[in-house]
Structure 1
Amino acid sequence: MAVELDPLTTPEAGTVHVDRHNGERGMKGPFFVAYTTADGEERWGYVCGNCESTDNAMDTMGRIECNACGNVRKPEEWDAAHE
């Protein structure tokens, strides 16, 4: 992986390595992709760019929500029937 990853230590996940160049748009800030290894080989999940928390949840439609600050990425596919 050519991109340098930023190590981040949190109470929820320990140390993860964050790709600040690869993320998903959220309502309050981006969700950055995080890896368990410094070489970016093993993807772990997301880090909230608004509050730096790793306490995030993703549903089956691809919606990401930060449990710490409420930052949300809208679902990839949305249908009114899911409301």
Structure 2
Amino acid sequence: MQARTTQDGETLYVDHEAVERGSKGPFYVVYTSSSRDEKWGYFCSNCESFDTAMDAMGRIECNGCRNLRKADEWDAAHE
């Protein structure tokens, strides 16, 4: 795992083995400690940003570069 610091000065830990495929580059799972006790969110490898969001269907989107991971499950009613 790689320790990285946010713009607010918080140290977070990027797990390069826990990968989610994105449209522009992979997303990596981020934890609050190196022991992986608490998942914090995702890190966008395309623009190297922690500014990502996940919706209820599992879609991940980077708010900076719009890198996108499609939802785990979906149907036409959700579009």
Structure-2-length-normalised TM-score: 0.92
Matched, 1:64 2:60: yes
- 2:19 matched to which residue of 1? 23
Measure how far apart 1:12 and its partner are.
5.5
Q: CA deviation at 1:19?
A: 0.5
Query: Which of 7, 10, 32 is 2:6 aligned to?
Result: 10
Question: Does residue 1:36 correspond to 2:36, yes or no?
Answer: no
Deviation at 1:14, TM superposition (A): 2.1
Q: Which runs of 5+ in 1 are unaligned?
A: none
Aligned length: 79
- Answering whether residue 49 of structure 2 is matched by residue 53 of structure 1, we say yes
Letter paired with 1:66: C
Q: Which runs of 4+ in 1 moved over 2 A?
A: none
Question: Among the aligned pairs, what percent are the same residue?
Answer: 58
